[in-house]
Structure 1
C-alpha cells in the first residue's frame, strides 16, 4: 500500500489534458479486416467468423477523478460499452493490473461466453476466483524467452503458438516487462501462486505477475498467416517484449504500442520498431483512465504523448502510417501485399 499511496500523490501533481496535435482517428466504419480499439489496452478483432479480444477495460474506477484505492467492476458500464463478442474464442491478457483484468470476468460471463482467457499464472489465479479453470490457460510455459537476447535483437527463443477454437487465430506469448510508473518506480508488482477465493478490491492486490507481449496471426483456410500483429502490452526496456524471428519468414504487418509510461524506459519504441518493421503502427493506452469519459478522452497525466509520436515516426520509413485511435474507433488493417 505505501507505494500505491505514492502513486496517488504523484497523480495529484498532474492533470489529464485534452489531446491536441496527435494523430487521432475516429473512424467507425472501417473496411474489414480491422481492429476496434476499446480504450486503455483493449482491442477486438473479427476474422473469418471468429473473434479475438485483448484485455477489455471499461470501468475506469476513480476517486474524485484521481487514482482509486479500492476498485470494483462497473457491470452496467461494461454491459453498455462492450461490443458484441459472441464469436470471441480467445481473450489475451498482458498483465494482471486492474486496468487490464478487472472487467475481464464480467465480459467472459456475459459478452464473450465462448472465450478462453490466456495470460500469466498470476492472471489465472485471480480469474479463478470467479471463472471455471477450463476457461483459463496459463500462457507462461509457451512464451518466447528474451533473457539471452541482445538489447537490439529479437527474442532469443521462439515460443509456442496457441490456437483459437476454430484455428483462425493463433497467438504466441512473449516475455516482457512493465515499465516503471514514475522515477524508476513500478507499482503493484508481485505475483500469486495459488487461486484466490474472491476478486481483489484493494488496488495493491491486483498484482502484475509476468507481463506478456503477444504475437497474433490471422490465418487463412490452409492455416498460414495472412496478417501478423505484434501487441506490446506495456512499454518495456529492450529486448523485453521483442518478437522472435520465426522460420516462416512472415513479416509483422501491424505494431500495437502502449503509450503509457513510454518515457520511463530507454530506447522505446525505436529499438522495437527497428526489429518489427511494421507497415502500420497503432498507439493505444494513451488516454487517462481515472474516471475518464471515452466520449471525450484525455491524455494520461504527466505523459509527453507528442514525444512518443515523434519518436515513433522517426524510427519508421517515411510514409508508414501511425494512428492513435480514440475509444471504440476502428483501424483497417493494411492491404495484403
Structure 2
C-alpha cells in the first residue's frame, strides 16, 4: 500500500512543458524605460542554486546553494544508511567547469550565501564549495549554522543565524542585511510543504553545533525555513531607489505563509522590477502556491527553480523532479504571469535589464 500511494513520487516526467532554457544561453528580461542603464545576471547552477551578478559592482556577489551530487533513489533506499552520502567532488568540479558564467573567479567574489533550509539537496554540496568562496558569509537558520559548524574553512563569524533578524509579518518586518552599498538582504520566515503525502523528510532542528557533518541525508535537518529578498539598488547608496527586487525561496509554502511574506514586502521601498524564483518541487503539496505570492507581487518575471530530478545522474537525459506534473505547473503560472516565466538549465543566464 505504501508503494502504491507513493508511486507518483517514484516516477519522473519530461521537462518539455517547462521549455528549459539551454545551458549557457542568455535570456533577457527587459525593463528599460528607454535606454538601458544597468543589468543583473541570474546564473542558474542546478536545482535551487543561483549566482547573482550585478554589473554595477561585480566584486561582491550573492549565491544560493546549488546541488550537483544527485544521489539516486536506489542509493538513498539501500546505500545511504549503510555507507552514508558524501559530496561527489569530482562531479562538482565537472559541473562547474561546464558553467563559465559561474566560474572559479566569480565564486571567489561571493560575499553572501543564502540558505532557505537545511535539507541535503541544499547543503550537502556547500562544504566543498566554501573553500572557493573565502570571503562568503553563510546566512540561514540556527540549524544551518549548527550543521555547518564542522566546516574548517568557514569561521564561526561567517556562519550567521538570522532567526532574530527575520521578518514574520507586516507588523514585524525584520532587519535588512547589507552585502554592499548596492545589495541589501532580508530574511522572511517561510515554510516547507510535505514531501510525500503529509510526510516531510528530515524535519526538526539541529540545536547544538555538530562535531562532524551529517553522515546520511537524514542528518541534514530542515530547521526553520526562510525566504529571501535581495534588493539591488540603482546606485551604491543606501538611499537610492531599488532597481531589482529578487524574491527567492527553495520550498513551496501555504497561502498564509505567502500572504505574510507579501505583507513584509509591502512595508519595503518599491522596486522598479520584481523577479520571483519559485520552486517546482512539491508545488501542488501547498495550498494556493504560488498563487497568493504572485497575485500580491505581480512580478515582471518568474524563474522556475528546483525543477530538475536531483535523484538522477546529471549525465543522463534530464527529467523533472519526481512527483511533479510540469503541465499542471504551467497552467498554475499562466493566469498570473502569462508567458513571463522561464525554467533555466544549469549554466543558463537570465539577464534583467533596466
How far, CA to CA, are the matches of 1:257 and 1:63 in structure 2?
24
Matches within 5 A, 1:107-122: 107-109=129-131, 111-122=132-143
| 2:42 paired residue number | 35
Q: Is the 8 A contact 2:11 2:323 kept in 1?
A: yes
| 1:187 paired residue number | 201
List 4+ stretches of structure 1 deviating above 6 A.
none
Change (3 A) 1:322 1:117: same
| 1:202 paired residue number | 216
Moved more, 243-252 or 199-208: 243-252
Matches within 5 A, 1:159-174: 159-164=174-179, 166-174=180-188
C-alpha deviation, 1:28, in angstroms: 2.0
Q: Is the 8 A contact 1:252 1:277 kept in 2?
A: no
How far, CA to CA, are the matches of 1:167 and 1:74 in structure 2?
36
| 2:300 paired residue number | 279
How many residue pairs were aligned? 318
Matches within 5 A, 1:1-337: 10=6, 14-26=10-22, 28-30=24-26, 32-47=39-54, 48-49=57-58, 50-64=60-74, 69=80, 70-82=84-96, 83-84=102-103, 85-109=107-131, 111-130=132-151, 131-146=154-169, 155-164=170-179, 166-219=180-233, 220-223=235-238, 224=240, 225-241=242-258, 242-243=261-262, 244=264, 245-250=266-271, 253-293=274-314, 296-316=317-337, 318=338, 321-333=340-352, 335-336=353-354
Q: TM-score with structure 2 length normalisation?
A: 0.83
Moved more, 57-66 or 223-232: 57-66
Give the superposed CA RMSD.
2.3
Q: Is the 8 A contact 1:89 1:116 kept in 2?
A: yes
- For structure 2, the residue ranges without an aligned partner over 5 or more in a row are 29-38, 97-101
Q: Is the 8 A contact 2:70 2:312 kept in 1?
A: yes
Q: Which has the higher contact order (CA 8 A, sep 6+)?
A: 2
| 2:99 paired residue number | none
C-alpha deviation, 1:217, in angstroms: 0.9
Q: Which structure's residues are more often helix, by fraction?
A: 2
